[in-house]
Every structure is written in C-alpha cells, then in structure tokens.
Amino acid sequence: MPSIITATELRSVLGVSSALYNDTYLNQIIDTAETVILPMLVTFKAPIQATSLSDNVATFTTLGIHEFTEGQSVVITGCGSPYNGTRVVLADNLGQYTFSAIDH
C-alpha cells in the first residue's frame, strides 16, 4: 500500500480519470516508485525492528543506532498501518535504538 501519495491524489496530479487508470494499477505504480526512489532520498536510514503505539504516539526500535533528532521529519515505510507515513520525531523516548514520533 502506498505511503507517500494515494491513488486518488496521483490521479488528481496527473489529471487522469479512473477510466484510464484504476486504483489497483496506480497503487502498483506508486509502490514501485516508492521502492525505487525513497532509498535515494534518505540521508539517514535505520531499519526498524519493532513498533508500538500508545495514545497516538508511535515508538520505533531500530536494528542499529539511528541518527534522528527531535523535530526531524522521518518517512516510515514497510511497517504497515498505522505506522507508515511521514512522522515527526519527539524528544520522549529518544535513544540510540528507539525513537517516538507522531503524524506529521
């Protein structure tokens, strides 16, 4: 499932109707593009080992030391709903291997 842009948003940007490209087809295009492009855009990358959610605050545990800082926007992918998407790193629970974040 796409995490950066939805099929409806992409259809609007491209100015095409659902008769030309259905949601399934656009989602496949978006997923492929995100898989290829996102790794090229990241300065800091930290594979996520575990996730938890409490009071709409997501906490992530990384496999290695991450370099995220408070207030930084991070793009979470590959963790599923409701974790995927752009989030802002919080000061709470900010350690070498963990960070908490909220929706951007």
What range defines the domain where residue 69 resides?
48-103
Global pTM reads 0.59
**Residue 102, beta-bridge partner list:** 88
Q: Which amino acid is at 69?
A: T
pLDDT digits (tens, 9 = 90+) for 7-63: 999 999 989 888 888 999 999 999 998 888 877 776 678 999 999 999 999 999 999
Q: Write phi, then psi, for 81 (nearest 5 degrees).
A: -80, 140
Count of the separate structural domains present in the chain: 2
- Same domain as 58, residue 31: no
- Same domain as 99, residue 78: yes
- Same domain as 90, residue 72: yes
**Tokens standing for residue 68:** 């995220």
Burial of 74 (0-12, 13-18, 19+ CB in 10 A): buried
- Same domain as 55, residue 29: no
pLDDT digits (tens, 9 = 90+) for 59-96: 999 999 998 999 999 999 999 999 999 999 999 889 99
